[in-house]
Chain A
Amino acid sequence: MKGRNFAWLIVISLLLGSLAPGALGQKLTLADVPNPKVWMEGEIGRYGGTLVVGQISDPRTFNPIVTQETSSSIPLAYVFESLVTRNLDTLEIEPSLAESWSVAKDNKTWTFRLRRGVRWHDGKPFTADDVVFTWKVIFTPGVQTSARDVLTIAGKPVTVRKIDTYTVQFRTPDVFGTFLDALAGVPIVPKHKLEEAIAKGGAEFNKTWGVNTPPRELVGTGPFVMQQYIPGQRIVYLRNPNYWVVDKKGNRLPYLARFIILIVPNLEALRLKFQAKETDIHAFRPREYAEAKAGEKAGNYTVQERGPAAGTEFLVLNQNPKGIKPPKLNWFTNVKFRQAVSYAIDREAIANQVYGGRAAPQYGPVSPANKFYFNPKVRQYPRDLRRAEQLLAEAGFRKGADGVLRDPEGNPVEFVLSTNAENSERVAMGNIIRQDLAQLGMKVTFAPEAFNVLVGKLVGTFNWEAIIIGLTAGPEPTTGRNVWHSSGSLHMWNPKQEKPATDWEAEIDRIFDQAQTTIDPKKRKELYDRWQVIVSEQLPLIYLTTPLTQYGVRNTLGNVRRSPYDFGQIWNGEQVFYKQPYR
């Protein structure tokens, strides 16, 4: 008797359970969006609450096409979206406004099916017209956008045409291996709001949707709607009630009711605000790690350690005959000289003194944060003064009895090292490097200067000897083409070459040309693995260290997962929730 009732209980529970959305793997759906995107990672949250975060600078514009710095692009990233997006947990491209796509056999024709039911914040439907319009805006002469450069291959633009209301087709002039990565950075803007503006021409369009625009005009498709902007103080967003993303149970996201970005121009004040619980998420600097951990209990937060940062810092020696003359040109163009310098640099001292121990030595151009492309098999340069001296001796350099290193012609090795004085970390690194190289007998004069002066020398006069500087990086190395291709204007050690000056630079050119037209990421990885090995052997840029990231996240928050590639944005903001009723 009891057994039979129990069995019925089980059957009925299973039946009821299967009615729950998503339980039997049924498709989750919303009344207005037949095929919403489902967040697979993370927990199910609760609705409500206001998340407050801080940023250092004011946004400069609210026009997503025209933004050039993160202080503007991050606030807009919550409002505007692209056809595809990069999931920063997996670092893979995922559908966003487009729900699926296919590429034809010629690898040049991409067809995207757009998500139905997506609406702009003012209620109008998102359609193919908006995508075509966005393309028109990007390629209108006079519009100041970096998107145009990204979508132009060998002078020819990527074109788009509308197939039907929810389908668009792109044609790339050549096989565009990283087309999806490029698309992830192009925000789609509403035709019905910006038609008039673009009709007035590119120059006028640049001024459209400036920071003096009433926020209700900034109509996007994103999880948050900008409600208010008080210059110099804060940006306030409200939840988008028509958002097209759901959690695993079918609940429409975002969970948060309100989202606020405070503008706090001072790093110390920003940190104090986090510790005083005025903001709930904060990116600590590496040397603040110990303090951050110590304050966890009192501040009710946890320090999320998310691994190495995405960018790189390096020392570059000038190999440009237009900017530097023999004998210095002869030293810097000698690979053994550069390798000796790399062996002499005490990267551990840099990690300890500049980053409080929270940094690891870096030898190649890709940071370990790039889990897919990072090649650990690059040549390593653990500190070894004897090896450095040996290499110098092989190159004909001799250290005299007076301790001065001299080249084969007898010239003493002396040069000027520079960096931008505003960056205190680079200045500290410069001092350490200067002392390290002094042990080899090199006389290095360290002279930091203003950022503008440095840039003028790097890309204008080429009149410099050695510089410490860094580069930010995205998950796709192709975006660094301007740095690595010998014809690039940011090929710092010898820019804008008419033809490659060395064999290895020619090989790197071939790698980047080929990678650009390789669609399969695994084949791209093979090419980039080789690139990283070449760079670690030839050392046009002598990499130093990569700092680790550490983020403070209040314990009352759920689903916050920062990434070194988020550049300050709470990239999964629609998933974030407060575990208890707000404050």
Chain B
Amino acid sequence: MAAYIARRIVHMVPLLLGISLVSFGVMQLAPGDFLDELRLDPVISPETIEQMRASFGLDQPAYVQYLRWLWRILHLDFGYSFSWKVPVTWLISTRLFNTLVLSISALLFAWTLAIPIGVYAATHRYSTGDKILTILAFLGISIPNFFFALLLLYVAYLTGWLPIGGMTSIDFEFLPWWEKAIDLARHLVIPTVVLGTATMALLMRQMRAQMLEVLQQDFIRTARAKGLAGAVVTWRHAVRNAINPLISIFGLELGGILSGAAVTEIVVGWPGMGQLTLDALLKKDYYLVMGILMMSSVMLIIGNLVADLLLAWSDPRIRYD
């Protein structure tokens, strides 16, 4: 197992190299560069723009820019953002915690609710409860995130129960620690529900389908015949088997924890990585985009590895050499 893990980690290097190459290449394919907005400003002279091009290194051919970037990365220097003129690592550090909080909260929300609901739906197949949950699941999958977020913001405005987006209140710094936690939690409700329901709907259906399949199997009949209680059969035996594909999904979600959900973050005003990434992409802020991409890719690859390991741990039939 240790050898397997070591091999996977070594594979990360060429994988990251490939990802960076493709990302950089695709960004170059899009027309224009960071200075386009400035070109349309009548006050800034073309000479100033040329000077800026040179100072950002944008006048070099693409492969030179890429190699320069690679050289810096190898020294763990992520460079400076064009539009922010601060180190990329500082920029990311200001948003990292926010995205982590949101992603983990959405993950917990989705998973702790989806699994029991899925199990209930499977064990009470075709009952009214199951039908209602199915409808809600389809609704959850169909509603686009941004629309759902806007809807919830509007509901927050009408009822006054929740703050309208944002992450903290203006007097956050002056609150005692427990009120800070409550404030954060109140701001978390809308984005968590938006992000969580989309995943929850999928997971719930998946769990239900898997459970239904496992509940048909012979060993379940045997367990019941041997007199085991219904709940024990369901939870200790059926779920453990049904949950396999969901573990893979969980690992993948773990990998996506840092990519952020750009659209939801922007609508709700959550200061996370998603907003930063989208903004950097639209502005063609190369170093910032590459820095974020590299971090997300590392998380994704590690997430995949964790998924595989979790699978091996949960299912003794799976073994790696």
Tell me the A residues contacting B by CB distance below 8 Å. Answer: 50, 52, 60-61, 63, 66, 68-69, 142, 144-146, 148-150, 203, 206-207, 210-212, 228, 230-234, 236, 260, 262-266, 268-269, 272-273, 275-276, 278, 450-453, 455-456, 458-459, 471, 479-483, 488-490
Identify which of A61, A230, A265 contacts B269 (C-beta below 8 A): A265
16 A–B pairs (Cβ distance < 8 Å), ordered by A: A60-B83, A142-B51, A150-B43, A210-B86, A230-B168, A231-B94, A231-B95, A232-B270, A236-B170, A260-B170, A266-B268, A268-B267, A453-B32, A456-B31, A456-B32, A483-B42
Task: Give the residue name and chain of the B residue nearest to A264 (CB).
Answer: B269
| CB of B165 to closest CB in A, whole Å | 5
Known: A234-B170, A452-B36. A149 touches B48 (CB 8 A): yes
Known: A232-B271, A455-B32, A459-B39. A275 touches B157 (CB 8 A): yes
Contacts of B269 in A (CB 8 A): 263-266, 269
Answer whether residue B247 sits at the interface, using C-beta atoms and an 8 A cutoff. Answer: no
Contacts of A232 in B (CB 8 A): 94-95, 98, 167, 270-272, 275-276
Contacts of A231 in B (CB 8 A): 91, 94-95, 271
Answer whether residue B18 sits at the interface, using C-beta atoms and an 8 A cutoff. Answer: no
Task: Give the residue name and chain of the B residue nearest to A492 (CB).
Answer: B40
Contacts of B36 in A (CB 8 A): 451-452, 455-456
Cross-chain contact B164 with A276 (CB below 8 angstroms): yes
* Interchain pairs with CB closer than 8 A, number: 145
Answer whether residue B150 sits at the interface, using C-beta atoms and an 8 A cutoff. Answer: yes
Known: A144-B55, A263-B269, A452-B32. A207 touches B43 (CB 8 A): no
Cross-chain contact A481 with B164 (CB below 8 angstroms): no
Identify which of B44, B83, B267, B272 contacts A266 (C-beta below 8 A): B267
Cα–Cα distance between A233 and B36 once the two chains are bound (Å)? 27
Cross-chain contact A278 with B272 (CB below 8 angstroms): no
| CB of B48 to closest CB in A, whole Å | 6
Shortest 5 CB-CB distances between A and B: which pairs? A232-B271, A452-B32, A210-B86, A231-B94, A455-B36
Contacts of B83 in A (CB 8 A): 60
| Chain B CB within 10 Å, residue with most, of A269, A458, A459, A480 | A269
| CB of B46 to closest CB in A, whole Å | 5
Cα–Cα distance between A451 and B80 once the two chains are bound (Å)? 24
Task: Give the residue name and chain of the A residue nearest to B44 (CB).
Answer: A146
Cross-chain contact B266 with A276 (CB below 8 angstroms): no
Answer whether residue B85 sits at the interface, using C-beta atoms and an 8 A cutoff. Answer: yes
Known: A52-B170, A234-B170, A482-B42. A269 touches B267 (CB 8 A): yes
Answer whether residue B154 sits at the interface, using C-beta atoms and an 8 A cutoff. Answer: yes
Contacts of A268 in B (CB 8 A): 150, 153, 267
Cross-chain contact A480 with B42 (CB below 8 angstroms): yes
Known: A148-B48, A150-B43, A482-B45. A207 touches B168 (CB 8 A): no
Tell me the B residues contacting A by CB distance below 8 Å. Answer: 30-33, 36-48, 51-52, 55, 80, 83-87, 90-91, 94-95, 98, 150, 153-154, 156-157, 160, 163-168, 170, 173, 265-272, 275-276, 284
Contacts of B165 in A (CB 8 A): 264, 266, 269, 272-273
Contacts of A479 in B (CB 8 A): 42-43
Cross-chain contact B84 with A210 (CB below 8 angstroms): yes
| CB of B103 to closest CB in A, whole Å | 16
Cα–Cα distance between A2 and B12 once the two chains are bound (Å)? 102
Cα–Cα distance between A66 and B52 once the two chains are bound (Å)? 12
Task: Give the residue name and chain of the A residue nearest to B35 (CB).
Answer: A455
Contacts of B276 in A (CB 8 A): 232
Known: A144-B51, A207-B85. A450 touches B31 (CB 8 A): yes
Task: Give the residue name and chain of the A residue nearest to B265 (CB).
Answer: A265
Contacts of A471 in B (CB 8 A): 42
Cα–Cα distance between A234 and B271 once the two chains are bound (Å)? 10
| CB of A314 to closest CB in B, whole Å | 14
Known: A262-B166, A275-B157, A276-B157. A60 touches B43 (CB 8 A): no
Cross-chain contact B94 with A144 (CB below 8 angstroms): no
Cα–Cα distance between A264 and B90 once the two chains are bound (Å)? 21
Contacts of B52 in A (CB 8 A): 144
Task: Give the residue name and chain of the B residue nearest to A455 (CB).
Answer: B36
Cα–Cα distance between A471 and B45 once the two chains are bound (Å)? 16
Contacts of B46 in A (CB 8 A): 489
Cross-chain contact B86 with A269 (CB below 8 angstroms): no
Cα–Cα distance between A203 and B51 once the two chains are bound (Å)? 11
Task: Give the residue name and chain of the A residue nearest to B80 (CB).
Answer: A207
Known: A66-B85, A275-B157. A455 touches B272 (CB 8 A): no
Cα–Cα distance between A146 and B42 once the two chains are bound (Å)? 10
Cα–Cα distance between A453 and B284 once the two chains are bound (Å)? 13
Cross-chain contact A233 with B168 (CB below 8 angstroms): yes
Cross-chain contact A146 with B41 (CB below 8 angstroms): yes
| Chain A CB within 10 Å, residue with most, of B43, B87, B165, B269 | B43
Task: Give the residue name and chain of the A residue nearest to B84 (CB).
Answer: A60
Contacts of B31 in A (CB 8 A): 450, 452-453, 456
Task: Give the residue name and chain of the A residue nearest to B276 (CB).
Answer: A232
Task: Give the residue name and chain of the B residue nearest to A450 (CB).
Answer: B31
Cross-chain contact A210 with B85 (CB below 8 angstroms): yes
Cα–Cα distance between A488 and B44 once the two chains are bound (Å)? 11
Cross-chain contact A233 with B166 (CB below 8 angstroms): yes
| Chain A CB within 10 Å, residue with most, of B36, B150, B265 | B36
Task: Give the residue name and chain of the B residue nearest to A52 (CB).
Answer: B170
Task: Give the residue name and chain of the A residue nearest to B166 (CB).
Answer: A233
Cross-chain contact B42 with A272 (CB below 8 angstroms): no
| CB of B145 to closest CB in A, whole Å | 13
| CB of B318 to closest CB in A, whole Å | 42
Cross-chain contact B166 with A212 (CB below 8 angstroms): no
Cα–Cα distance between A202 and B51 once the two chains are bound (Å)? 11
Known: A232-B271, A262-B166. A272 touches B48 (CB 8 A): no
Cross-chain contact A68 with B85 (CB below 8 angstroms): no
